[in-house]
Structure 1
Amino acid sequence: MPDDSTPLYPLFADLRGRTVLVVGGGTVARRKVEALLEAGARVVVGAPRLEPTLADWATRHRIAHRAGEFDPDWLADAWLAIAATDDAAANHAIADAAERRYVWVNVVDDVELSRFQVPARVERGPLQIAISSGGGAPMLARLIHERLEAQFDESYGALAQLLTRHRERIRARWPAHGEHGLAARRRGIARLLAGPLQSLLRKRQHIAAEHAFEKILDADSAHEASSPVETPIGSVALVGAGPGDPGLLTLRALRVLNEADVILHDRLVSPEVLQLARRDAERIEVGKQAGHHHATQERINALLIEHALAGRRVVRLKGGDPFVFGRGGEELEALRAHGIPFEVVPGITAAVACAAYAGVPLTHRDHAQSVRLVTAQCKTSLDTLDWPALAQERQTLAVYMGVAMLDTLQARLIAHGRDAATPFALIENGSHAGQRVVTGPLSQLAERTRGHDVQSPALLIIGEVAALAETLHWYGEAPLGALQPVLDKAA
């Protein structure tokens, strides 16, 4: 028996049409059988009784069933055996019988009796990544498995399928004759992998990916050898960072951040989100400042174009969602004008996230059948709003960037017919550790905000649903407005 420091020898087994014996008829056995069937194995299950799914598969002849207690003769045609019973003595007998017949055996949750381990797997089509601790540290293997699942998206499987489909053409295009031939093949495949194939497949543009493959494959080798290597054009991912809590970042956003060469981020993107990005990525803060929006946006566009044309993978990281008051459309128009490929990764916008963290449902059958998203960034933008429509009842208003304009918001809504008693909830630093929620009637909006010294960033919710913040809050401290009735009663 090798000592504990001896590593296992990794391999991937072709089980198509080959017999694998699974002893045990419970839930654990069913999970093992399911994976074996996916691999094309001929599965024989030995057990006195089968759980419902296994019994159904046996009835439909997806598996063969050997009824009764373990019999060594069951191993006669087996290539592999798995002991998945809850009887330690039976598992030991199965392992001993398999050892005598030179059949590789795995005993579930018993490293000492097992002669092979079934690794945790990340599957992306024909591409498989196996993780094993040799059975000694399964929780560590599970942790690594979870991280790899987050890192590798489905485009890797599509890329593997494309390369597999054209394997013979790749071999013919770059014959591996001698050291020079092998080096040429490595360079050619590197060009394939560094090109736009994966980005196109990620966007489900399979025809365009095939065309890109053909273009790279059919490039004139003499021209490649004599011409200087051109810097391939990069790409830009427009990514929504959400409201600040890194746990609200989407899986796709996390993957893109880990692939980035350059990250252009807004001032309000939280440090916790930035910490999740690739460590060696260049970080450039491009936060806007009041009075200089046009110039600042031009600078952002110029930086995006500059880095992408230099062949870099650029992430434009915006708080919330890039298409909700984020000028994402303007940035994509600039990229399109320069022929730079891009993708958009949505984020959770502030209205949705802050409302949820304050316990405020934006819609409610009894109170609000619609939601309006409004920006109140400056006085000019307020003059363009349809105030009679905004003042209607039974709807929710979510007002972005409105802290400096609360007096005007309050006065105009009441002047156009909104009940002065309409509840509001003002959420400062929504989803952050320092979140505060101020509640009250619309008539006291500006007064209470000044009294509690609310600062930007803050999201304002106006409508009947805002009153629910006082009873449905779950994150952070209770809304400040909820304390007033208690103080009044005590007085």
Structure 2
Amino acid sequence: MDYFPVFLDLKKRRCLLVGGGDVATRKGRLLVKAGAILRVVAPQISTELRELVQQCQGEMHLREYHGSDVDDCVLAIAATDIDSLNQVISQDAKAKYIPVNVVDSPALCTYITPAIIDRSPLVIAISSGGESPVLARLIRAKLETLIPSSYGKLAQFASRWRERIKHRFADTDQRRRFWEKILQGPAAELVFNGQDAQADTLLSDAIHQEDDSLTRGEVYLVGGGPGDPELLTLRALRLMQQADVVLYDRLVSDGVMELVRRDAERIYVGKRRSEHAMEQENINQLLVDLALQGKRVLRLKGGDPFIFGRGGEEIELLAQHHIPFQVVPGITAASGCAAYAGIPLTHRDYAQSVRFVTGHLQDDSTNLQWPELAEPGQTLVFYMGLVGLAEICAALIAHGRAPDTPVALVEKGTTRDQRVLIADLATMAQTVADNNVHGPTLLIIGEVVKLHASLQWFSPAQNPVDSD
């Protein structure tokens, strides 16, 4: 972290602003909005900046800068286009231990001004450390669309009740859960709609109710997608941020794990083929045990939990113990890896259907319905097919699929380490042997693979290896 973020209380405090043009005016707006008293120094000062000085009952000096101008100020901003003057202002402020910002000159600053999302009293600041202010503003624009202006009202609502909630729930975990329930429930909707009185009544009733949902555990079965954290759903991200403990496996990427609540307990449960950190039956029971302890348990899986993720087995036991659970779908590896490899799974010229197939069964065999799988006009997607790759290719050829049927193997799909190997049924096993492939991988078989050459350049992550 290059800068330590802080929020300053500038109410009724004098701040120096040197400069009178458009940039200085923009800085003046922010300072006055924060309650500061302006001392503006410049030979020429814009009309709006003059009005801002009058509004805050500040000072305006139509002259060149003097070293004494920094006296009695708690903050200084240099917004001139004269480099030598900016350097002097910076030196004077530093000599008197006054925080100083020189616009577009990070080297002369002791602090930098971020891009701001103002939902007062909720304020969000975004900074690039002075390296790319435009990028910070672009990120602010994205967040502006996600955070309604009414969130400021919600923060004020929470502030009014903070002390009463603190006295009602001495336990910090119960208090956090109560607030999470309130701030995402009907009371929040009432505040958003301007119905504060009704929201107060609802919250008052909730405080005096004996609500076992605050102490009762639950389980979130969440699909973490194929690897790229930007493919997570909004609901998945919300639950990842409120879980007390997370059980995760090998297919969950580091980028996705970074988005889990930082103080959540983390339990690694595997799984690598034939090398499980914890047997599936033990995982199922652990979910039950943790929920019965009142924990909010996140079972985070790569891809989608209901597509070869054994999610159905896990929730069966939860249902038997009447433990509440939520299932959040994720983008399965077939969709994510194919898209990032530039391979559409269906195409009216090549494939009118797609099949998802597991590459190995519970007994480690590949005893599948080969005659059906060998039918033309369909795309086959094999999960966990790396170990049985040679057997899969040979079986498809033996049952009538052409040896030159295109095949793609996607390694570590949707991540920065993604690699795509292109061959056919006759040569893919040797191609993999020649390229030192490691899981996780996904196998795509069918005519749609031909489109990879023309569509791959659209892919966010791409490192193709062609057998030709």
TM-score scaled to structure 2, two decimals? 0.62
Q: Give the aligned residue type for 1:390.
A: L
Q: Give the aligned residue type for 1:7.
A: D
Instruction: Determine helix, strand or coil for the equivalent of 1:304.
Output: helix
Measure, in 2, the Cα distance between the counterparts of 1:182 and 1:321: 38
Structure 1 residue corresponding to 2:465, chosen from 459, 479, 488:
479
Which consecutive unaligned segments of at least 5 residues does structure 2 have?
Answer: 1-6, 13-28, 30-41, 59-76, 80-112, 190-201
Task: Report matched runs for 1:368-407 at 5 Å.
Answer: 368-378=351-361, 385-407=368-390
Q: Give the aligned residue type for 2:9.
A: P
CA gap of 1:184–1:258, structure 2 versus 1, over 3 A, is: closer
Structure 1 residue corresponding to 2:303, chosen from 312, 316, 320:
320
The C-alpha deviation readout for 1:11-31, integer Å capped at 9, x for no partner, is xxxxxxxxxxxxxxxxxxxxx
CA gap of 1:6–1:415, structure 2 versus 1, over 3 A, is: closer
CA gap of 1:441–1:193, structure 2 versus 1, over 3 A, is: closer
- Corresponding position of 2:47: 93
Q: Residues 115 and 136 of structure 2 are in contact (CA less than 8 Å); yes or no, is this contact kept in structure 1?
A: no
Q: Give the aligned residue type for 1:302.
A: Q
- Corresponding position of 2:122: 129
CA gap of 1:446–1:247, structure 2 versus 1, over 3 A, is: same
Q: Residues 241 and 269 of structure 1 are in contact (CA less than 8 Å); yes or no, is this contact kept in structure 2?
A: yes
CA gap of 1:98–1:147, structure 2 versus 1, over 3 A, is: closer
Q: Residues 240 and 319 of structure 1 are in contact (CA less than 8 Å); yes or no, is this contact kept in structure 2?
A: yes
Structure 1 residue corresponding to 2:218, chosen from 235, 238, 241:
235
CA deviation after TM superposition for structure 1 residue 232, in Å: 0.9
Q: Residues 257 and 276 of structure 1 are in contact (CA less than 8 Å); yes or no, is this contact kept in structure 2?
A: yes
CA gap of 1:260–1:141, structure 2 versus 1, over 3 A, is: farther
Does 1:300 find its partner at 2:283? Answer: yes
Q: Give the aligned residue type for 2:378.
A: Q
Q: Residues 420 and 464 of structure 2 are in contact (CA less than 8 Å); yes or no, is this contact kept in structure 1?
A: yes
Identity %: 41
Which consecutive unaligned segments of at least 5 residues does structure 1 have?
Answer: 11-31, 33-87, 105-110, 207-211, 485-491
Measure, in 1, the Cα distance between the counterparts of 2:165 and 2:431: 73
Q: Give the aligned residue type for 1:333.
A: E
Measure, in 2, the Cα distance between the counterparts of 1:250 and 1:140: 27
Q: Residues 469 and 479 of structure 1 are in contact (CA less than 8 Å); yes or no, is this contact kept in structure 2?
A: no
The C-alpha deviation readout for 1:254-276, integer Å capped at 9, x for no partner, is 34333332111112222333233
Measure, in 2, the Cα distance between the counterparts of 1:203 and 1:266: 35
The C-alpha deviation readout for 1:58-82, integer Å capped at 9, x for no partner, is xxxxxxxxxxxxxxxxxxxxxxxxx
- Corresponding position of 1:445: 428
Does 1:429 find its partner at 2:422? Answer: no
CA gap of 1:242–1:119, structure 2 versus 1, over 3 A, is: closer
CA deviation after TM superposition for structure 1 residue 281, in Å: 2.1
Q: Give the aligned residue type for 2:122.
A: I
Task: Report matched runs for 1:455-474 at 5 Å.
Answer: 455-474=438-457
The C-alpha deviation readout for 1:240-299, integer Å capped at 9, x for no partner, is 222223343344433433333211111222233323333332211111355688981111
Measure, in 1, the Cα distance between the counterparts of 2:286 and 2:217: 13
CA gap of 1:8–1:422, structure 2 versus 1, over 3 A, is: same
Structure 2 residue corresponding to 1:266, chosen from 241, 249, 254:
249
CA gap of 1:139–1:381, structure 2 versus 1, over 3 A, is: same
